[in-house]
Structure 1
Amino acid sequence: MASPLLPLPQLHAFVVLAEELHFGHAAARLGIAQPPLSQQIRRLEDKVGHPLFTRAPGPVALTPAGRELLPAARRALTGLADGLAAARAAAEGRTGRLRIGFAASLALTVLPGLLRTHRDRHPGVHLDIREMTTGPQLAALRDGTLDVGLLREPPEHDDDLSFRTIMEEPFVAVLSASHPLAARHRTLPPAALADSPFVLLPREAGPGLHDRITTLCADAGFTPRVTQQAVEWQTVCALVETGLGVSLAPAAIRRIRLTGITFRPLPATTPRTTVSIGWRSTDESPLVRNLLATVTA
């Protein structure tokens, strides 16, 4: 019994000859001599078990078997071409799904521009965007449920993850409009907040950022008296607005529009918060590689 598997080079030669109906023209189009073309067609006819072309007398023409095979041969070649193109696109990171975590405050700064630029460069990539605080992002990166994280204050060393700094951002003091310090001069040293209760993110939401803020306070000579906690900066600001305390926060949150709060910059010498992109150190995905290239462009 003849094998049902037809070699693709023979199918290609068959389709070209079916379109040209001339051995010389078809051979020239294929870039081969006529004898190898004739051999390819003969081998294909042996596979099919019937002639595919009439040869003499008169011009070359498709037989009934040839006419029946032609559409299937074209589909096979088109399918292969499409498959090769899809494989190349996936290998080059031009298609696929990229899962990106981001800290909510970064939606006010780097995130929109980064996503816009990356979509312009790689429109075939589906971006799965997930809002998460830094602590859960680190866990999701480690367990593979995130590909990339945009986060604040990553750990200084992690055996499983790599980080690249995107930007550094100053802190601001967050006060209710009725707080006595709200009427003071524009720059506010952290020490001025020593006697006020604090509203802060819980440490598990962002260990690095939480520690950075408490270190700022320690460097100013006090330990913040945390009386309220909230996972999102929007909620922190809302609690400050009600007079439940003050906070230190990344400067991006000044874009949160609440009429009852005031933001005051800290002295220029105050350490800043670091914004980084993180990924699994062993991840060699072209999707991740392309996003890193967008970040550093």
Structure 2
Amino acid sequence: MEFRQLHYFLKICNTLHFTKAAEELNIAQQPLSFQIHKLEEELGFKLFERTTRSVSITPAGKEFQKNIEKAFWYIKQGTDNGKMISEGKIGKLKIGYNSFIMSTTLTLAINDFKEQYPQVELELQELNSPNLENAALDGTIDVGVMGLIWENHKELNYLEIAEETSCVAIPKKWKITDNEYLELEQIKEQSFITYSPKTKTKSYQDFISTCHYLGFDPKIIQTAETDLAVLGLVASGLGVAFVPYCYKNIYCDLIDYKPIKNHKIPIKIDLVWNKKYLQPKAQNFIELLVKSSRNELDANHLSKIISPF
């Protein structure tokens, strides 16, 4: 049984005329009749009753027609869905993100993605480093958006898409300054709260490096494993902390958020995904987020690290 025979069969069912069916199929009537006869022999029952004046479908032919039409519908549905999956237009996209990313570029990118790809279901999971990188490695997430990185994995691709400015979170009751900015000398002797070196190794190292760049060794009195824990300790009056400026509305009745005058302390926001496999829907999300995060898309760089399909 061949696919073309079934196609010929359905065409005759629709026209009830061999000559007309042959014309619409752009073949001669004789090979059409031959293929239908061959199909009937293989099936073991007649599909059509033919006279010199008419063609009718047998009861067995009608049952066969009903099921073949269903089969053709499923084939078309499967073909359409397969094409949409290959283009990243349907399916489920699993995104991991650092907690503070929702206050930056990710929120707008998600809205844009949902408008452009309405049939892709989004599943977002808040993950802090290193759990986010591990989820990208084992396939729990398709792509991650992160700003606080534990360590770089050689099995992952990292793509910087934006920067977020850091500031110093200070307990309001400390009253270090009423100015909009902090002077560098005003923070050098402060007690600092930062991320745990065990669970956030790279973020801890970046903090130490930043302090050394600013010309002092930080006095660390407490470490914490999450962003909210760091802010909670600051709000409790235990110390100050370097945090993303987008946190400025968290505990704002208890914390002042102030940049350091003449010193920009950036936090890089990176996309991360497994080098071995990048699904089309994830590629679409990456390209959209890159475009929404930059004035100019570095297409050459992006094409080098995104695997072709």
TM above 0.5, yes or no, is: yes
2:194 equivalent to 1:200: yes
- Cα deviation, residue 60, structure 1: 0.9
Deviations 1:186-219 (A, max 9, x none): 2214442222221222234443333222222122
2:206 equivalent to 1:212: yes
Residues 118-133 of structure 1 mapped to structure 2, 5 A cutoff:
118-133=113-128
Q: Distance in 1 between matches of 2:184 and 2:24?
A: 78
2:97 equivalent to 1:64: no
Which residue is equivalent to 1:3? none
SS at match of 1:278: strand
Q: Distance in 2 between matches of 1:127 and 1:204?
A: 32
2:251 equivalent to 1:252: no
Cα separation, partners in 2 of 1:227 and 1:252, compared to 1, 3 Å: same
Which is worse superposed, 216-225 or 158-167?
216-225
Which residue is equivalent to 1:272? 266
SS at match of 1:235: helix
Amino acid at match of 2:275: S
Which is worse superposed, 255-264 or 77-86?
255-264
Q: Distance in 2 between matches of 1:139 and 1:67?
A: 56
Q: Distance in 2 between matches of 1:163 and 1:296?
A: 12
Which residue is equivalent to 2:230? 236
- Cα deviation, residue 155, structure 1: 7.5
Q: Distance in 2 between matches of 1:260 and 1:269?
A: 24
Q: Distance in 2 between matches of 1:32 and 1:205?
A: 71
SS at match of 1:134: coil
Contact 2:167 2:265 in 1 (8 A): no
Measured on the aligned residues, the alpha-carbon RMSD in Å equals: 2.0
Amino acid at match of 2:269: V
Contact 1:209 1:273 in 2 (8 A): no
Amino acid at match of 2:246: A
Number of matched residues?
291
Deviations 1:216-272 (A, max 9, x none): 212223222222233332332222122111111111111325311111112344331
Q: Distance in 2 between matches of 1:191 and 1:38?
A: 95
Which is worse superposed, 27-36 or 167-176?
27-36
Which residue is equivalent to 2:303? none
Deviations 1:22-58 (A, max 9, x none): 1222223323332232222112111111221111133
Amino acid at match of 1:171: S
| Ranges in structure 1 where 5+ consecutive residues have no aligned partner | 1-5
Which stretches of structure 1, 4 residues or more, deviate above 4 A after TM superposition? 153-157
* 1:20 aligned to which of 15, 20, 28: 15
Which residue is equivalent to 1:224? 218
Which residue is equivalent to 2:304? none
- Cα deviation, residue 120, structure 1: 1.7
2:255 equivalent to 1:261: yes
Q: Distance in 1 between matches of 2:274 and 2:45?
A: 57
* 1:291 aligned to which of 267, 275, 285: 285
Contact 2:98 2:148 in 1 (8 A): no
Q: Please report the TM-score for the alignment, with normalisation by the length of structure 1.
A: 0.90
Contact 1:240 1:246 in 2 (8 A): yes
2:138 equivalent to 1:143: yes
Percent same amino acid at aligned positions?
27
Q: Please report the TM-score for the alignment, with normalisation by the length of structure 2.
A: 0.87
Which is worse superposed, 248-257 or 264-273?
264-273
Cα separation, partners in 2 of 1:243 and 1:215, compared to 1, 3 Å: same
Amino acid at match of 1:235: A
Which residue is equivalent to 1:78? 73
Cα separation, partners in 2 of 1:70 and 1:86, compared to 1, 3 Å: same
2:35 equivalent to 1:40: yes
Q: Distance in 2 between matches of 1:269 and 1:144?
A: 39
